[in-house]
Structure 1
Amino acid sequence: MKLAIRECMIDDLVILREISYKTYNETFKAWNTPSNMEDYLEKAFNMSKMRDELLNASSKFYFLYVDEKLTGYLKLNEGLAQTDIKDSESIEVERIYVLKEFHGKALGSVLMNKAIEIAKEKKKKYLWLGVWENNDKAMKFYKRNGFYIIGKHSFFMGDDEQIDLIMRKDLEVN
């Protein structure tokens, strides 16, 4: 299995939108109404919003390829691009998704290791993220990767208020 990770550029906008929409839908459609999913997907992954995110110097997207096939992606935010904490000492892992057909191959760990590597290169003290309190699979993954709960916030899926747990991973910076 040949792995490759590369930073997304503006030319990747259409492909980024497609994989973002698909992976989010695969992950959460079973727990949400079709109308709430449609509402959220259109707001979060419309072309204009995603273009702005790609052009934001404080946000970076990375594609993960396995044997030259796009399998997942990672989104990291720094500074004011962070959705909650906005600490200059941290990086937010806003999105880490792998296509369902590639689950169980430790590809989430590949993306998480990339996030950790980038944070350490930038001399950040910690990573943080928000995870839906009912997403047991993701919670277990983050805990295995050294994250711990530090708080929570509301997250709206359409008109449904849900709770995201805020998790942090402290880094040893040399």
Structure 2
Amino acid sequence: MGEIKVRKITSVDLTDLVKISRQTFTETFEEVNFEEDMQKYLSENLSEEQLQSELDNPESEFYFAENKDEILGYLKLNSGNSQTENKNENSIEIERIYVRKEFLRMKIGQLLLDHSIQIAKEKKAEFIWLGVWEHNERALKFYGKNGFEVYSKHDFVLGKDVQTDLLMKMNL
């Protein structure tokens, strides 16, 4: 594998963003959720229309991790009022970091997380935060190893299933 690059994406990349968003969300959660809940979430939250509106939001940013022309994973950051909660002017939310299943364990998630932290520091954020499903032990361990600490929790609705996300943050 050649050099992996992180690049900011725009509306031109919408088709690829829809594909990678749906693929990685499905790979990550399909084995532990009901199909109808997964389909409802995909159609409402990761549709072309929804992702286009997120791309159009100046307070949200998307990035692809790529090797040549292959998309390995992606990242979504929110600031200001686009944050799902904690609408703190001095914070950045990592709403999504997802890596395609076949590229897990290749440090792509780390590359995207490091990119997030760099952007948050450039924007002079006081802290960076995210929500992780309480049963996603792999992600909880990853963020904990990187200095994030649980500070709260909130509900995450997947279809008809109300789940608990642990909110984690790292002071910068």
Q: TM-score range by the shorter chain?
A: over 0.9
Match of residue 123 from structure 2: 122
What's the secondary structure of 1:13's corresponding residue? helix
Counterpart residue identity of residue 142, structure 1:
Y
The question of 1:166 aligning with 2:167 is answered: yes
Q: CA deviation at 1:84?
A: 1.1
Q: Deviations over 1:45-71 (max 9, x none)?
A: 111111110010000000001244210
The question of 1:88 aligning with 2:84 is answered: no
What's the secondary structure of 1:20's corresponding residue? helix
Counterpart residue identity of residue 147, structure 2:
G
Give 5+ residue unaligned stretches, structure 1.
none
Matches within 5 A, 1:73-152: 73-152=74-153
Q: Deviations over 1:128-148 (max 9, x none)?
A: 000000000000000011100
Find runs of 4+ consecutive structure 1 residues off by over 4 angstroms: none
Q: Which whole-Å CA distance do the structure 1 matches of 2:144 and 2:67 have between them? A: 25
Counterpart residue identity of residue 154, structure 1:
D
Q: Deviations over 1:4-63 (max 9, x none)?
A: 111011111111010000000000000100100000111111111111100100000000
Match of residue 35 from structure 2: 34
Q: Which whole-Å CA distance do the structure 2 matches of 1:140 and 1:18 have between them? A: 27
Give 5+ residue unaligned stretches, structure 2.
none
What's the secondary structure of 1:85's corresponding residue? coil
What's the secondary structure of 2:93's corresponding residue? strand
Q: Which whole-Å CA distance do the structure 2 matches of 1:36 and 1:127 have between them? A: 29
Q: Sequence identity, in percent?
A: 44
Q: Which whole-Å CA distance do the structure 2 matches of 1:51 and 1:39 have between them? A: 18
Counterpart residue identity of residue 162, structure 1:
Q
Q: Which whole-Å CA distance do the structure 1 matches of 2:157 and 2:10 have between them? A: 29
Match of residue 20 from structure 1: 21
Q: Which whole-Å CA distance do the structure 2 matches of 1:98 and 1:110 have between them? A: 11
The question of 1:54 aligning with 2:52 is answered: no
Counterpart residue identity of residue 65, structure 1:
E
Q: Deviations over 1:73-131 (max 9, x none)?
A: 00000000000111111000000010000001111000000000000011111100000
Q: Which whole-Å CA distance do the structure 1 matches of 2:157 and 2:32 have between them? A: 13
Q: Which whole-Å CA distance do the structure 1 matches of 2:55 and 2:68 have between them? A: 25
| TM-score relative to the length of structure 1 | 0.97
